[in-house]
Amino acid sequence: MTIPEKTSVHRSPHKAGKTGVFIALTIALLLSTPFAVQANAVEPESYTPVAPTIDQARANILIARQLQFTHFRDMGISDELSGDVFDAYLNYLDGQRVYLTARDVQALDKVKSRLGSALKTGQLQPGFDIYNLVQKRIIERLRFALKTLDEGIENLDFSSNDSILLDRSEADWEPDKEALDALWVKRIKNAVLAQRLNGTDDEAITETLKRRYEGQLKRAYQARSEDAFQAYMNAFTGMWDPHTAYFSPRTSENFNINMSLSLEGIGAVLQGDNEYTKVVRLVPGGPASKQGQLQPADRIVSVAQEGEKPVNVIGWRLDEVVDLIRGPRDSVVTLEVVPASATDETITKSISIRRDEVKLEEQSASKNTIEFERNGETYTVGVITIPTFYADFRAMQAGDPNYKSTTRDVRKLIAELQQEGVDGLVIDLRNNGGGALHEANDLVGLFIDTGPTVQIRNSNNEVQVLNDDDASVAYDGPLVVLTNRMSASASEIFAGAIQDYGRGLVVGSQTFGKGTVQAVRPLNHGQLKITQSKFYRVSGGSTQHKGVIPDIEIPSRIDKTRIGEDALDHALPWDQIEAVPHTRYFDFSDIIEELRKRHEDRFAKSPDFRLLQQEIDFLEEQRQRETVSLNLDERTTQQEQIERTRLTIANARRELRGEEPFESLDELEDWQDQQAADLGSTDEELDFVIREGGHIMADMLELDKRMVSILAPRQIAAQAEVRQ
């Protein structure tokens, strides 16, 4: 959730005039700084080291001051911070520890403890020296890889019992160049094996790998001062929290349109992830969301325009990848990605998406009904799906009485469902990444009388309480809210309020945990997005880090170790403040255990759930693998086992739908490609989760008949607490 500020506020003991003099004096000393880092090898002749500019030094000083005096987290710049910045910076530049040697890292140790003091005063040279050394090593490694390919991949030995570590982020640095050579031979063998097992011939494999390494090499030679500065500043700002970030002037342009690619794009929010560009989330109603194959945490390897060869984008700047993915409406862009579920970065798939605009009406709330019989009684449950919290601000400001917004649309849908005589209501917030804060506040108001909805605390410990002051209630019946790991920000505010008020049950999986508010502040060079506030529920607990814990949990395919606030480095912790008085409409404590038992009994008998659990177990087993064999026979056996499992799960799902099974994995993948070509025929969502929400609703009605009139005036009077 980002709330832009109109003005930039600096809480600082220095006056503006003194600050300007201080910056000028500091910058004058930059070129004589004694922080130079010596490389151990001769610098490649064609690489030109990048150097900091005066504008970047000035921006660095401003960033340091804003972090210390205006960030929500009260933290100074210390020697301990220096080491953390150093580690984060190396992790960004060489996160898999495949470029630098232990000897290189040891040579850099001399500046490790002094980065903090240098960053305070705009002395950027040590960070740039580190960046230049890594670029040199990248060039050396890529040259070695290309030389190995030139010697012929047929000369690589795939009969040994070698294996390779899949994740080297915690591995020891290789001691020297010779050890790195051996590691890179293994990396190349792994990439070759992955493509051979997919049926690619050696000539095509060589061409693909050469194109990949040559593209990365070209980028390394084209390194710019701004690349080093942005990487260094983000290692620095990331110490405060993962949502505080520096945007270069070019990146700022993309941020100002939310980097959503929604204008003649694919509708995906992207971010840099070491050498890769990673998908953060999909824009509801956008081409990628409707196409159905691109997923959060997928990493982009290459981008191909229609009828053209793919362009490898590993190592590219985020803004350049964004530019490449954008294009004319109705044109097709093909992304080669490492899927979030892949155990190995050599495993990729291609996804073709037709570019289009994301229209507001395609993000709108929608309704449906489900019916089922239990114990001779028929239940009708209304389902309202809310992809995002939206509002047509332009129409609102223009005075259009029919402007669209989440709350207005949901109110109409509720009225229509009530006319249909629904017994209960399910609000589906799965994959809803948030949106307009005031819409979350207003939406809560549709289900309660009046009262607080969320608390916002700033860095001065001042607390603002948002309230619903409208006494009207759109719906007073039983309510279930569905969430998953991708439900974030405004979704968490709504779900948390419904839970705190005892207004309904939250069902699904733990939400994302995005409970902070950022402001964008201009600098002399680029912008700083800085965390300034934190959300708290009316019960006092923060939505930050912990998110909303469901009353009844349903497992999810999403890997919680990779997606979610608690998976991010330096995320602000969960905490709590004083609760604000609020009505507790219903106490579920007497029936919650029975509700859970009935849910578990149903799922134990449900073929849909057993299939989901089988898929989750399979994915978890793949994630737990730490190494992969480089022996062709052993790797073939592993691959065949994985393919059999994938095919078995896919066919079991088709059998549940009464469809013919696939005879081979190729047939399954061909079908998936056909589905991708038709945006209207993507694989269905797990409807049994929505139906389970309906069954829980029926359980609530059966176990406590008071739920039928939960908001009757006499009950409100009896249950309401004293308000402030």
Nearest Cα to Cα of residue 238 among 67, 460, 433, 96: 67
Q: Alpha helix locations (H) across 158-238?
A: 177-196, 202-221, 225-237
Which is the catalytic residue, given 489, 491, 509, 542? 489
**What is the structure's pLDDT at 677?**
52
Residue 411 and residue 266 in one domain: no
Same domain, yes or no, for 256 and 226? no
- Residue 219 and residue 250 in one domain: no
**Residue in 500, 551, 699, 704 annotated catalytic:** 500
Q: How far apart are CA 387 and CA 629, in angstroms?
A: 42
> Are residues 566 and 444 part of one domain?
yes
Same-domain check for residues 225 and 324: no
Round to the nearest angstrom and report the end-to-end CA distance of the chain: 28
Work out the number of other CB atoms within 10 angstroms of the CB of residue 577. Answer: 15
Is there a domain that residue 290 lies in? yes
Residue 141 and residue 4: Cα distance in Å, rounded? 43
Question: What is the distance between the alpha carbons of residues 54 and 122, in angstroms, rounded to a whole number?
Answer: 9
> 353: exposed, middle or buried (C-beta count within 10 Å: 0-12, 13-18, 19+)?
buried
Write down the pLDDT at residue 1. 42
Residue of 51, 60, 54, 70 lying closest to 11 (CA atoms): 70
Alpha helices in 465-555 (DSSP H): 490-500
How far apart are alpha carbons 531 and 517 in whole angstroms?
6
How far apart CA 542 and CA 534 sit, in angstroms, is 8
* Nearest to 332, CA basis, from 303, 360, 363: 303
Does 373 fall in a domain? Answer: yes
Q: Which of residues 303, 328, 354 is at a domain's end?
A: 354
Read off the DSSP letter of residue 721. P
- Catalytic site residue from 514, 529, 534, 546: 514
Choose among 334, 340, 342, 345: nearest CA to 288: 334
User: Active-site residue 290, yes or no?
Assistant: no
- Backbone dihedral region for residue 712 (phi beyond 0: left; psi -120 to 50: alpha; all else: beta): beta
What string of H, E and C letters represents the secondary structure of 445-489?
HCCCCCEEEEEEEECCCCEEEEEECCCCCCCCCCEEEEECCCCCC
- Residue 264's domain spans which residues? 245-354
Q: What is the pLDDT of residue 676?
A: 54
395 and 318 housed in the same domain = no
Q: Is 666 a catalytic residue?
A: no
C-alpha 634: how far from its chain's center? Answer: 35
* Residue 42 forms part of a structural domain: yes
Number of folded domains that form the chain: 3
Does residue 679 lie in a domain region? no
The answer to whether residues 215 and 265 belong to one domain is: no
Residues 322 and 418 in one domain: no
Same domain (yes/no): 494, 444: yes
Q: Are residues 431 and 537 in the same domain?
A: yes
User: 459 forms bridges with which residues in the sheet?
Assistant: none
pLDDT at 18: 40
Whether 596 is covered by a domain: the verdict is: yes
Q: Is 500 a catalytic residue?
A: yes
Residue 666 included in any domain? no
User: Rounded to whole angstroms, how far apart are CA atoms 82 and 115?
Assistant: 5
Residues 103 and 60 in one domain: yes
- Residue 480's nearest CA partner among 634, 588, 578, 556 is 588
- CA 461/CA 543 separation, integer angstroms: 17
pLDDT for 362 equals 67
Both 451 and 339 in one domain: the answer is: no
Q: Which of 218, 237, 256 is the last residue of a domain?
A: 237
Can you give the pLDDT at residue 6? Answer: 33
Q: Give domain status of residue 516, yes or no.
A: yes
Question: pLDDT tens, 59-108?
Answer: 999 999 999 999 999 999 988 899 999 999 999 999 999 999 999 999 99
Q: What is the CATH number of the domain that holds 276?
A: 2.30.42.10
Q: Give the residues of the chain that fall short of pLDDT 50.
A: 1-36, 38-44, 255-263, 679-686, 709-724
Residues 6+ apart with CB under 8 A from 20: none
| pLDDT tens string 316-357 | 878 788 888 888 888 999 999 988 877 677 788 888 999 887
Answer for the pair 522, 485: CB distance below 8 angstroms, yes or no: no
